[in-house]
Structure 1
Amino acid sequence: MTNENELYEVKVWDRSIRIFHWVNVLCVLALMTIGSAILYADFLGISGDGKITLKIMHAYVGYVFAFNLIWRLVWGFIGSRFSRWGSVVPFGRGYVGELKDWLYGIRNGQAPVYRGHNPAARLMLLALYMLLVGQMCTGLVLAGTDLYFPPFGHEFAEWATGAGEDHSQLIGLVPGNKELLDPEGYAAMRQFREPFIAIHKIIFWLMLGAIFLHVAAVVYDEIRHRNGLVSAMITGKKVLRKPSKD
């Protein structure tokens, strides 16, 4: 085998990163599907009870999504080399120079090979993680204001019922049941909720765009460089055609 045909199989993604990635993919797909059904419930002819069921399903999947994302955030400080934030986010000494070299290489057909994420991918990942964290935080607030689910549901239920420390008023408080609600407290709680709904919807549409760009970039890289990005998220190994820069 000649040098120009030599392949370099390199270990990149550890097991924790690979599990996070695919769990996240499944959760985001499920959340977007259920969320779209909730958003267009009237158009789809979904009843009030059906909409509550969808919201409960959305929340349960959201908890899996949140736990998985929180673990990834922690793993970025204690995990293997290419899972750490220093190798993922577009910061640090020399990053701007690396990005310029990579863009110059793309234009000239000689882009540097990276074992981990290339400089442009790190920009995309920063945007994706910011969107994921924003969606998680707003989703947890909405689960509390709409379904009285943890971690904030108890506090919102107290607000909506005017219970204060009289927790007996919270017994039997279920989504859609307004018998125990204090009109003023409930109205104030729902007003507090409004901006979180707006942000949650905005992030939804931004995530659709970001996911499209992410998938398009992966397809481009697979066709252009044939480094096995998709298979690397299964096996943990990339196949490079020349030594990497990192």
Structure 2
Amino acid sequence: MSLSMTEDTSQSKTYRVWDRPTRVFHWINLLLVLSLMFVGLIMLFKSEIGITGLAAKIGLKELHTVIGYLFAINLIIRLVWGFFGNRFAKFTGNLPKIGAIKQYQTALRAGENPQYLGHNPTGKLAVLVIMLILTVIMATGLIRAGTDIYYPPFGAAVTQYIAAEGVDATSIKPYDKTGVDKAKLAVIKPYKSLAGTVHLYSAYFLMLLIVLHIAGVIIAELRHQPGIISAMFSGKKRIVGTPLDK
């Protein structure tokens, strides 16, 4: 796909880089991740803030799951778009390379400011790690939704499995062992626990990544490549000189 390019009076050039689907995903993902973290923290500390009772516990999990579905849909669309978007949206153009990262860091230490249309080499590594952790969070979250409150896509299969002989699986209720085969429930418990642990610590790791990502973007904006923040709104970057990934 060709780049749209116009010249301005300062001899810089403006390039159209981030396509609309990529930008929409970015901001929707941020909103949903923050919402999930907010509800998740309430779930973790519900007793400390005075939220008690089974109904409240289930209600919070249902809210967290509904937001999680929106998060999963948005992420899946972005993953698919990684094969069909423009070259800056495609995963093939955003794979980090150790050699390129070392060269980029060496150039920065030498006082140079290499310019890039897409992500710089360090940014590509950050994006890859973030996308991987988002995918892990999505997968483990869906597993917990299916094993905790029996929501799709795994909930029906779980209730079918744990229902005692002769019991209608649709009658199984969250956190209610009525009609449940306790032996089968014990079988899935370790897997449920593992998914929950991975989900929780992945969320903590994502929080750290978000802080590092924001700090890195601000530093890059102020010191190395002005305009990278506004580009995620407009889709355009203004660059003086020749970008290394043109």
- Which whole-Å CA distance do the structure 2 matches of 1:219 and 1:174 have between them? 48
Q: Is the 8 A contact 1:6 1:241 kept in 2?
A: yes
Structure 2 residue aligned with 1:106: 108
Q: What are the residue-to-residue correspondences of 1:156-167 with 2, within 5 Å?
A: 156-162=158-164
Question: Residue type of the partner of 1:24?
Answer: N
Name the TM-score, length of structure 2 as normaliser. 0.90
Moved over 6 A (4+): none
Structure 2 residue aligned with 1:6: 11
- Which whole-Å CA distance do the structure 1 matches of 2:177 and 2:158 have between them? 14
| Match among 67, 71, 82 for residue 65 of structure 1 | 71
Q: Is the 8 A contact 1:89 1:125 kept in 2?
A: no
Q: Give the 3-state SS of the residue equivalent to 1:43 in structure 2.
A: coil
Q: Is the 8 A contact 2:164 2:179 kept in 1?
A: no
Q: Give the 3-state SS of the residue equivalent to 1:42 in structure 2.
A: coil
**C-alpha displacement of 1:204:** 1.1
Q: What are the residue-to-residue correspondences of 1:174-193 with 2, within 5 Å?
A: 174-193=173-192
Question: Residue type of the partner of 2:43?
Answer: I
Change (3 A) 1:121 1:226: closer
| Match among 26, 36, 44 for residue 39 of structure 1 | 44
**C-alpha displacement of 1:143:** 0.3
Q: What are the residue-to-residue correspondences of 1:19-98 with 2, within 5 Å?
A: 19-47=24-52, 48-90=54-96, 95-98=97-100
Structure 2 residue aligned with 1:218: 217
1:15 paired with 2:17, answer: no
The answer for unaligned runs of 5 or more in structure 2 is 1-7
Count of aligned residue pairs for this structure pair? 237
**C-alpha displacement of 1:226:** 4.8
1:229 paired with 2:235, answer: no
- Which whole-Å CA distance do the structure 1 matches of 2:148 and 2:94 have between them? 35
Question: Residue type of the partner of 1:194?
Answer: S
Question: Residue type of the partner of 1:100?
Answer: K
Question: Residue type of the partner of 1:182?
Answer: D
- Which whole-Å CA distance do the structure 2 matches of 1:29 and 1:238 have between them? 27
Q: Is the 8 A contact 1:104 1:111 kept in 2?
A: no
State the percentage of identical aligned residues: 37
Deviates most, 44-53 or 20-29: 44-53
Q: Is the 8 A contact 1:87 1:117 kept in 2?
A: no
Q: Give the 3-state SS of the residue equivalent to 1:70 in structure 2.
A: helix
Q: Deviations over 1:48-95 (max 9, x none)?
A: 2112111001101111111111111111111111001122221xxxx3
Q: What's the C-alpha RMSD, in Å, of the aligned pairs?
A: 1.8
Q: Select the structure that is richer in helix.
A: 1
